[in-house]
Structure 1
Amino acid sequence: MGQLVALRERRAFDIALLGWRGQPERVGRDSWLVGTALSAPVVMLAIQTVATVRLGEGPSRVATRALGSLGATMACASLLEPEVRSALSPAGWNPTTTPIVAAGFSLAVAMAVLGLGSAGR
């Protein structure tokens, strides 16, 4: 959902910590490798899909670690994004973006905890 809203509303990524800022007119292109203000890059989402399908076939240490690592990366990257931090603050409440951001961040954290916590088993 974050990908769709970001593409529709041209919400470019903004990772000021690294000095990286996307441009609204390039959101579609940037969404493939860098992501948007509201979503991970398509490449990461594709890897997540492949790992999830693999786990659907049975236990896989590699797929579990991949999902845990992706979740940790997504959660940390979300916190670097000003639009995410704003959407999670009381003053930044938005009926469209806040639920998407809250769900995406929560699921990324859960994926990291479950994937990395059980990777050693």
Structure 2
Amino acid sequence: MIIINTTASIFFFNIVYLTLLATLALSNLISSFKNRLEGSSISNISISAISLILIVFYIGFCIWFRNRCFNEEAKRKFLENSEIKSIEVKSKNKTRYGENNSEVSAFKL
């Protein structure tokens, strides 16, 4: 569960970061259009537009991939189709008072 939460937070960070980049690219595109009206070159506009399109596609891919990977039904189907039917954790703890043996069954399908 820790891995899933960490991965979800990384995806969230990517989406927020790329949204900020898309905002900067959009503002650059608007300022390029203003400069174009004043007689500047158009190459800066095309670079801004391409970067904005790529950022929007990457944000969409991140959202699609997160929904596909972290959907509860998809996780349940994965666990049903896997050959792992249960996970057991066995630990042997040494304390200063002696040994503590414990067995914990994490989940069973």
TM-score by length of 2: 0.39
Relative contact order (C-alpha < 8 Å, sep 6+): which is higher? 1
Larger radius of gyration: 2
Higher helix share: 1
